[in-house]
Amino acid sequence: MREAYIVSSVRTPGCRRAKGAFAQTRPEELLSHILKAAVDKINIPAGDIDDVMVGCAFPEAEQGLNLGRIAVQMAGFPDDVCGATVNRFCSSGLEAIALSALKIKAGWADVAMGAGCESMSIVPMGGNLPRPHPEWAKKQPDVYISMGITAENVANRYKISREDQDKFAVLSNQKAAAAQEAKKFTEIVPTPATRYKMQADGTYLKDSFMQDFDDGVRKDTTLEGLAKLRPAFSALGSVTAGNSSQTTDGAAATVLMSEEALKRYNVKPLARIVTYTAAGCRADEMGVGPKYAIPKALKLAGLKISDLGVYELNEAFASQALHCIRELGIDVNLCNLTGGAIALGHPLGCTGAKLMATLVRNLHESGAKYGCESMCIGGGMGAAMIIEKC
């Protein structure tokens, strides 16, 4: 089987749902911009891309009608460049990268893209018209359970205290704020944003501006401030808006090549895809998924936990991230070096692709050889990909 290499991995900023810079920007515009930016970064003909996989957790309405194909066309790629939309909820973007890598490994493609996109401002969590199966919902309601309740379940079952969750959240914001100050987020591509302003005559004027930073980082977050927040999902719970991931809008894209393509285009690889896997767990504690997916990925790769030098472990909730870190014996200092989703946001179908751009950058800056990205997934799954720095 051939090797698949990452040659470009970039993202838009992550901006707060409803209140952030992208609240009125259509998802197709975010995605098409970042697809083009990912290709422009390595200066290859867009027409040479064999296929584009795009992760999206709720592919409907403005994100529907095969977002993957529409965005490819809006990006100005030739008609013979194909696109598809992939859904594995929170790991959709990572799944898209994995599928593109598999095509290269199998010899079905030489250049492929894996991307992700989600506008949580425009398409709400759960979609516009959720329709659970009535009989199945009675038999197995946990399949449709609120993600916040799963976070409470993890906190209760595995003894993750409110104080520890809040401390973790403070650290996430501190790391993200420090990274912004040091201008470390080099994977961000400045992205056009749209807003509509009402005029004196009652009509709306479409205005555009450039957004170049994650606008949800709360650098002044303190433990005392978080302690004042009420539980968000259970009256007697410990999971709050402050120790949960932010709902955000954004897009990200990764270009992958075979070794033959690297030589053809004279492109320097950033990382090699080592392995990817998904693992199932109980739906009512979906946040523990990484503790099953990471060991499974390590076994496939023939590696040990001590071989991994940097992690992007998605912070859907502080409770589940902390539990997975503790259960696996991961050094917390190797996790989310520039902050996680509590500070930077979790744009659902985009996050898997977004974190890859961050992981590649952190892998090179840290000097580590192997890096791991892992996600928990609604419905009771975890996913993990291991990459090797080139």
Q: Which two tokens stand for residue 190?
A: 């400045």
With H, G, I as helix, E, B as strand and everything else as coil, classify residue 172.
Answer: helix
Q: How many CA atoms lie within 13 A of 346 on its CB side?
A: 27
Q: Which two tokens stand for residue 34?
A: 């970042």
Amino acid identity at 145: I
Show the 3-state SS of 292-348: HHHHHHHHHHCCCHHHEEEEEECCCEHHHHHHHHHHHCCCHHHECCCCCHHHHCCCH
Measured CA to CA, the distance from residue 65 to residue 355 in angstroms comes to 26
- What the block records as the tokens of 101 is 């890598």
- Residue 15 designated active-site: no
- Could you give the count of Cα atoms lying within 13 Å of 154 in the half-sphere of its Cβ? 33
Task: Please indicate whether residue 376 is annotated as part of the active site.
Answer: yes
CB 76 within 8 A of CB 61: no
Q: Is 324 a known active-site residue?
A: no
Scan for tokens 């957004």, then name that residue. 211
In angstroms, how far apart are the furthest CA atoms of the chain?
Answer: 67
Q: Which parts of the chain are beta strand (E)?
A: 5-11, 15-16, 51-55, 82-86, 111-119, 191-198, 204-211, 248-257, 271-280, 308-313, 370-377, 381-389
Structure tokens at 95: 């799944």
Active-site entry in 117, 335, 346, 350:
346
Catalytic residue among 15, 56, 90, 350: 90
Catalytic site positions: 90, 346, 376
